[in-house]
Amino acid sequence: MNIKQYINVYQKKMALCVKKTNQLYGDVSIPGSKSYTHRALIIASLGGSSQIRNPLVSSDTLATKKACEALGAEITDRGGDWIVRGVEGEINFRKDTIDVSNSGTTLRLFTALAALSGKHIRLLGDSSINSRPMKPLLDALSGWATIESDGGYPPLRLKNKRGAFGDEKIRIRGDVSSQFISALLIVAPLVGLEIEIIGVLKSRPYVEMTLELMNKAGMRVEVFDKGFFVEKQAYGGYDYTVPGDYSSAANILAPAAFIESDVVLRNLYQNDSQGDKKILDVLEQMGAEIKRGEDYVRIRKAESLVAVDFDAQNTPDIVLPLVAVACFAKDISFFRNIEHLRFKESNRLDACNEFSKLGASVRVLKDSVQVMGSSKIKAANMQGFDDHRVVMALAAAALNAVDGISRIDSAAMLNVSFPNYIEVMNSLGADLWLEDE
């Protein structure tokens, strides 16, 4: 099936069925990075003319595309690339309501843009979006805009109350979501802004992605120990190729570490800002055989998986795939500094408890998780919590589970980041399929 067909399939409530897989062999291409696609499209929409190659087409990125069109950008598909005619810095929304669906990135990045609007802009989404904390960003923007919210949660309604800007300064916490910082950075060239980070900036690689793309659009950003300074300037256009998504690749790399395998994953580069490429180092520490090429990664199964102690403060999206690997490792693995996993599409820290249904021993603490591997991983029925990353990570572990077929609900959410996940995995030898919940 093509991407549009997958999107239609995933409109229904589906369960992902997983049967034990004995080997994974083959050569696959990893879809474009969701995080890069969001940022590349928004930044292009604020400039002049741009071309975005290899964008990820998924429910989340299509939400950003619609939001950019509501801002006034013109976006056309040309052979799989997106051609963007931007608004050249003019914040004059053509629509006053933006439905971000399930995309927290769209919500957060567009909240800062809505704070510059001369008319009221309403941002809303599905039930998951209504649980996403926004208060630190809303507090930071309160000097710019009148803001209506449900106690700091969506839906939101914003309207600019200032008009003119210059020599602005904002202070904001860095320990809830790096997307708040990216949102402020993206609007910074439109107003001239100094951003001071309070406390620790978690998930910093995602901010580095934003800075990388701003640089490609010609922006000058001064980086300090505790923040950033961006002078007022005009976004330029660019021609940008979206690299493959290490966050998605993690869900292929993980089972390949404990199932007989020889897998090549293409469209993965070593020179971009994706922090999630750290999974290669961690899997090597656990025993997997990894080869890094200029634009590919090759992985072979570990002879014997060993436990790991990993500080995942900057790479929360690879925690669940690594927990799947830890289910088969000797001794206890520790994943630390991950309290911010509670504020994703679901409470991903608590979601780690689902691995215990397979037979692993999992202990979830305030900001960490401990996993004792087991040789008796058996098929189970598990919850995906309407979260694409939970579904894929549970499927990774279930691929090596004996005694039956595992079922994971919320399979419709695969469309958020990896619409052809099942097709790619089955091409390598996995046995995955969908059934009605």
Q: Distances from the Cα of 274 to the Cαs of 169, 210, 318, 346, 386, in angstroms?
A: 28, 11, 11, 22, 24
Catalytic residue among 272, 276, 317, 386: 317
Lowest mean pLDDT segment, chosen from 74-88, 159-173, 278-292, 301-315: 159-173
> Tens digits of per-residue pLDDT, 183-220?
999 999 999 999 999 999 999 999 999 999 999 999 99
Q: What is the pLDDT at residue 437?
A: 82
Does the annotation mark 311 as catalytic?
no
Residues facing 32 on adjacent strands? 244
Percent of the chain topping pLDDT 90: 92
Per-residue pLDDT of 376-405, as tens digits, reads 899 999 999 999 999 999 999 999 999 999
Mean pLDDT of 349-359: 97
Instruction: Kindly state the average pLDDT of the residues 324-332.
Output: 96
Alpha-carbon torsion angle 87, 91, 95, 98, nearest 10: 100
User: What is the value of pTM for the model shown?
Assistant: 0.93
pLDDT above 70 as % of the chain = 97
DSSP string, 231-270: ----PPP-EEEPPB-HHHHHHHHHHHTTSEEEEEEES--S
Q: State residue 166's pLDDT score.
A: 65
What pLDDT is attached to residue 6? 43
Q: Decide: helix, strand or coil at residue 401.
A: coil
Confidence grade of residue 164 (pLDDT, cut at 50, 70, 90) = low
pLDDT at 4: 45
pLDDT in the model for residue 9: 44
CA distance 325 to 417: 21
Once rounded to an integer, what is the mean pLDDT over residues 312-326?
A: 97
Mean pLDDT, the chain, integer: 94
- Asked if the model's pLDDT at residue 2 lies above 80, the reply is no
Predicted confidence at residue 343, as pLDDT, reads 86
Q: Is residue 413 a contact partner of residue 13, using CB atoms and an 8 Å limit?
A: no
| pLDDT at site 163 | 75
Alpha-carbon distances of 303 from 152, 205, 255, 259, rounded to whole Å: 49, 31, 13, 10
In this predicted model, which residue has the larger pLDDT, 192 or 163?
Answer: 192
User: According to the model, what pLDDT value does residue 3 have?
Assistant: 43
Domains recognised in the chain with CATH numbers: 3-30+244-436 (3.65.10.10), 34-241 (3.65.10.10)
For residue 165, what pLDDT band results from cuts at 50, 70 and 90? confident
- pLDDT at site 10: 44
pLDDT at 13: 85
| pLDDT band, very low/low/confident/very high, at 47 (cuts 50, 70, 90) | very high
Residue type, 3: I
> pLDDT-based confidence at 61, cuts 50/70/90?
very high
Q: What is the average pLDDT across 326-344?
A: 94
